Structure 1
Amino acid sequence: MRHLEVFQAVAHANDGNRASGTPGYRGSMDYVLGRLRAAGYAPRVQDFSFPFFREIRPATVAAGGTQVAAEDVAVMTYSASGTVTAPVRAVDTTGEPGAGTSGCAAEDFAGFPAGSVALLQRGGCSFADKAAAAQAAGAAAVLIFNTGLPGEEDVVTGTLGAPGVATVPVVGLSHAAGRALLGADEVTVTVEAVSEQRETSNVLAETGTGNPERTVMVGAHLDSVPEGAGINDNGSGSAAILAVAEALAGRVVENRLRFAWWGAEEFGLLGSRHYVADLKANDPATLAAVALYLNFDMIGSPNYGRFVYDGDGSAFGPDVSAEAPAGSAAIEAAFHAHFGSVGLASGETEFSGRSDYGPFIAEGVPAGGLFTGAEGIKTAEQAALFGGRAGVGYDFCYHARCDDLSNIDVQGLDEMTDAAAAVILRFATSTGDVEEVGRQLRTAAAPAPPVTVDQGHGPSNAAARRQVS
């Protein structure tokens, strides 16, 4: 909690957030580095560049003096900023429900008056391709509305993929809002955002003892979303592994422990992706020496559940879960065994690759970890097992400004940090044959049958989760 108090203070002093590429992230990183050095570690900073995006104010679209409802408008991630008032021209669309190819080809813009706002319908190609074609035809701004097909009536939330794809404002609309603009003469489009390449860093520290050929990696993302301080997401995981690292400082362990605080997770797991890709390209022996990876992303949710990643695939099918490298089942079993040993029920969450373990399992590294829930809704069964309120979210402040110190359940954080410490120490002592470890753990403890949660976490920001087409 003392670590979380510092993260909150850092956010308070830096525009309310700790997002990668901002002074708030640098302040969080400096604090972690200072604590690690004081504990006797020699931490390493790994720098990398990444595409940064932040919406300063919600995008707006107005026609005929009437502003389109806020819920029908969403800026495209990596849109350029600007205010444009100009005639609006539909491009290869009548607005009828359907997924056509509006704006996908240069010929769609034949006769398009330069300086106008292009009104396009979703479908046929990526949003980036539509925006680039419209801009090449002289569009001053681009509006892309949804197809209107079942399940595709709401506002389009999309990404252009990277800064600089378009140098004009690009905004998504609901199908109804798009159709309403077909009859408009002129629109005003306003986007106020920052879209650019920035620098950020990972922080890495490892024990001075332990077999480096059997390295146990422990990670949590240190960054918040730009919208808030990110004290649960993911100050909670970052603080927990920092506390564990401090507790283990100077201790002799059998297997090397390497702790990682990842940058730019909220922009698409970019820190962990960079780390794994760098090892794969430049130091494959070090990557091969990683015996397993443990991930802690959101472990203090106010309406929490005790969820363990479904490493054995028993709770979620292949349509939901990623393929689990051999040994992931043993990691899952270790967490369930711990909870069972202290009389606490545990459940399972999808092993989808949607947090920083994703790049590791893509290279065949066994992985697992803990999660207390994000925007998903707690069921009555889960409330009976874990306490809390059924029918509401695990974290009502997920990706919001209110994710501050008041958004932490201290008891839940304590239970999950204890579990993290126990399993980290277990594997620091012995990784062994991970499949055999899994079988042994299943017979050593018999926790209550786990319940599932079908909502994972990460890549957790809008840029990472939004559609590209």
Structure 2
Amino acid sequence: MVSHSLRRRLGGVAAVAVLLGTFAVVTPAQATSGGNDVRKLTRSVTLAGLLRHLVALQAIATLNGGNRASGGPGYDRSADYVATLMRHAGYTVTRQPFQFNFCEDTGSSFAQNSPTPTTYADQTDYDVLDCSGNGTATGLVVPVDLALTTPNASSSGCEATDFTPAVAGNIALLQRGTCPFGQKVANAEAAGAIGAIMMNQGNSTAPDRQNLFFGTLGNPVGIPAISVSYPMGVAFAGTPNLNVTITTQTIAEVRDTENVFAESRWGDPDEVVMVGAHLDSEPDTAGINDNGTGSAGILEVALQMRKMKTKNKVRFAWWGAEESNLAGSTFYVNNLTDEQRAAIALYLNFDMIGSPNYTFGVYDGDDSAGQGSGPGPAGSAQIEAVFQAFFAARGEATAAADFTGRSDYGPFIATGIPAGGLFTGAEVQKTEADVALWGGVAGAQYDPCYHAPCDSLTPERNGADAALYRQLRREYRLFGNVNTFAFDTNADAVATAVATFANDTSTIPPRPAALSGTRSAAARGAAAGSLTE
């Protein structure tokens, strides 16, 4: 490990070069037959190897403003780190530049002026929607076409006709559902609203439809816009003459960033197994769990399989600007030719695989849980089955992770490419039923530092709840904001799935060219990611 004083003297690029040297000696899985490939690769992916990458990513963040966000130097050095390792390992490395809307809020406040003066807490009572406008808005709260009774089938704000003249000069209360958040807020702005409050939908009792949520508008708007929980939204709607003030301090501009790809030397180029994780963090955090864990996980798997002669081509992807509405993966998929798209047999996604208060989530390819979005494209169920078999062999329970579209699988399944992957949880609170399966702390988020500065190797120093983290450490071994058992186990699952499909995709149904433009129910939801219902 590079000492603190040495890192300070070296500066960013040189420090990363020294860190790279600590990973130069690895013992990769050797070329063997298919079944042995899976076992040997899984054994060769070690916790020590994984954690070294997290140390490197933290060092990069520390040397570059405390973050690794796309559009900034921390992300650029993270991309250098991955690309250098992959090139030295013998992979064909490609760096794909693109532009995206960089949006960041640097401060905010939200208060009720009347009838009951109340000050609300950021990221507890409300959150600034990504790409919100900058400024202060004070006015009456005007509900817009809300659906507050079962089944809460809301299309609030999706049409210009939803807005009455009363919204002009005031603050629109909108409800999640049917169309993108950005469309709703843009319509509110066009109707003369000076601010917007987006309440959750409340169409089920699930936490992700009731609680405070984190969303993005996709493109910058000109008015302050925040999100609140469904119960808070209902309370606002039922309060006559409710007057509030919203203040947001935001940045919105176009910036340059890139995706990084590393392709295996061997394998059929017409049968590509894609493996991806987003490399960027939020602008105010090092992003050690989100998504240092996914990035480090696929990086270590790639390093350990560099000498493995696989039947199919394997393409590893580290996505830029995932935190800006999946900009990197969307750019990549949208710029594929029909032939390139047809050559991708499947996509495996790993976003947050070491949450400290974890669940073992496996993307629900067949929609067996019957919740949220529908099944993924044909072949997604077969991907899910490989992960389920892995966890069953380990004696570990799993949870069905819905294809909500909040990560980089979204653009792939939107174009008919089967997908699957792992997810250990973000802002949703752990339940007593979860604790019975995986231990941990009920009532706390799966990742208590989700999208916060404490998603680092020193969470308490960066603002985490010290009492909660003491409680978590009594149950688990944590490495900063990462649960080492969850991370290590999931990395083995990554290795198992990659090696399985790298040698055999026969379980994945052929994808007729005519299906490339079709969308499953899950794909329609995933196309807009966290923008929609």
Distance 1:310 1:191, change over 3 A: closer
1:420 to 479, 494, 502: 494
Q: Which residue of 2 aligns with 1:442?
A: none
Q: CA deviation at 1:243?
A: 0.6
Q: Which residue of 1 aligns with 2:423?
A: 371
RMSD, matched Cα: 4.0
For 2:140 and 2:454, the matched residues in 1 are separated by 40
2:315 to 258, 265, 275: 258
Q: CA deviation at 1:308?
A: 2.0
For 1:403 and 1:157, the matched residues in 2 are separated by 16
Q: Does 1:349 align with 2:400?
A: yes
The residue type paired with residue 426 of structure 1 is: T
Q: Does 1:79 align with 2:132?
A: yes
Q: Which residue of 2 aligns with 1:455?
A: none
Q: Secondary structure at the match of 2:101?
A: strand
Q: CA deviation at 1:126?
A: 2.1
- Conserved? CA contact 1:306–1:370, under 8 Å: yes
With the length of structure 1 as denominator, give the TM-score of the two structures: 0.76
Q: Which residue of 1 aligns with 2:454?
A: 402
- Conserved? CA contact 2:102–2:252, under 8 Å: yes
1:358 to 410, 425, 443: 410
1:30-87 residue CA offsets vs partner (Å, 9 max, x unmatched): 2111211221223111122222211101234575996743366654432332357x8x
2:372 to 312, 320, 331: 320
Q: CA deviation at 1:433?
A: 3.6
Q: Does 1:465 align with 2:530?
A: yes
- Conserved? CA contact 2:361–2:399, under 8 Å: yes
1:35 to 73, 76, 85: 85
Q: Which residue of 1 aligns with 2:263?
A: 206
Q: CA deviation at 1:181?
A: 9.4
Distance 1:219 1:82, change over 3 A: same
Q: Does 1:127 align with 2:185?
A: yes
The residue type paired with residue 267 of structure 1 is: S
For 1:335 and 1:156, the matched residues in 2 are separated by 28
- Conserved? CA contact 1:207–1:250, under 8 Å: no
Q: Secondary structure at the match of 1:312?
A: coil
Point out where structure 1 has 5 or more consecutive residues left out of the alignment: 136-140, 437-457
For 1:53 and 1:7, the matched residues in 2 are separated by 22
For 2:494 and 2:280, the matched residues in 1 are separated by 20
Point out where structure 2 has 5 or more consecutive residues left out of the alignment: 1-50, 177-182, 458-479, 511-524
Q: Which residue of 2 aligns with 1:162?
A: 219
Q: CA deviation at 1:302?
A: 1.4
Q: CA deviation at 1:304?
A: 2.1
Q: Which residue of 2 aligns with 1:450?
A: none
For 1:43 and 1:420, the matched residues in 2 are separated by 21
The residue type paired with residue 347 of structure 1 is: T
Distance 1:415 1:144, change over 3 A: closer
Q: Secondary structure at the match of 1:134?
A: coil
1:78-101 residue CA offsets vs partner (Å, 9 max, x unmatched): 2332357x8x578799x9x99998
Q: Which residue of 2 aligns with 1:305?
A: 359
Q: Which residue of 2 aligns with 1:69?
A: 120
The residue type paired with residue 363 of structure 2 is: Y
For 1:287 and 1:111, the matched residues in 2 are separated by 45
Q: CA deviation at 1:250?
A: 3.4
Q: Which residue of 1 aligns with 2:460?
A: none
1:13 to 49, 63, 87: 63
- Conserved? CA contact 1:266–1:464, under 8 Å: no
- Conserved? CA contact 2:294–2:350, under 8 Å: yes
Q: CA deviation at 1:242?
A: 0.5
1:329-379 residue CA offsets vs partner (Å, 9 max, x unmatched): 2222222222334x3323132341522222222222222112222233444
Q: CA deviation at 1:105?
A: 6.9
Q: Which residue of 2 aligns with 1:449?
A: none
1:23 to 51, 65, 73: 73
For 2:456 and 2:323, the matched residues in 1 are separated by 17
Q: CA deviation at 1:311?
A: 2.0
Q: Which residue of 2 aligns with 1:48?
A: 98
Which residues in structure 2 correspond to 1:434-445 (within 5 Å)?
434=508
1:359-400 residue CA offsets vs partner (Å, 9 max, x unmatched): 222222222112222233444454344343445432222222
